Copies of this chain bind each other. A is one copy, B any other.
Amino acid sequence: MDNKIKLRNAGLRPTKQRIIIADILLNGFNRHFTAENLQNEISISGNKMSIATVYNCLKKFKNAGLIKQVESYTDTAIFDTNNISHHHFLNEETGELIDINNNEINLVKLPDIPKGFINSGVDVIIKLKKNN
């Protein structure tokens, strides 16, 4: 269970609930998910967690940099276990996201950043429509 250590290193107290979530999310496989998706996976793993706790944990994990929240065109927050900078295809009909590796996109020209700000990340979203 070195997820206990991972949590501690991230500055999070390793509670029973956070360890359950870390065991599900931080296993090396990347995925996109909603709070409800995660609660279902927790149930499947034989555990039970209040939705408030799921949201609390997701916020903590996100602020600690263990997961990211990604853009969404729907009204449900989508999280991503892939912390490496990358981009997304968006299926406009379903809202589903598919990862695009950074090296598959080349942005050669960027606009001047407004005064007083710095660029804190660039997201490219390629919207997809069914080809009929």
Contacts and interface: CB of A to CB of B under 8 A. Distances in A.
Interface in A1-25: none
Contacts of A98: 114
Interface in A38-80: 69, 71-73, 75, 77
A24 to B, nearest CB: 24
Given A105-B107, A111-B104, A131-B117, A125 B73 contact: no
Where chain A touches its partner, the secondary structure class is: strand
Nearest to A98: B114
Interface string A98-110: 1011001111111
Interface residues of A, number: 38
Contact of A125 (B72, B77, B125, B127): B125
A127 B119 CA distance: 6
A123 B100 CA distance: 14
Contact of A111 (B92, B105, B130, B131): B105
Given A72-B73, A105-B110, A117-B131, 5 more contacts: A100-B111, A106-B107, A107-B108, A122-B125, A123-B127
20 contacts: A71-B73, A72-B73, A75-B75, A101-B111, A104-B111, A105-B109, A105-B111, A106-B109, A107-B107, A111-B126, A116-B131, A117-B128, A117-B130, A118-B131, A119-B127, A119-B129, A121-B126, A121-B127, A122-B127, A123-B123
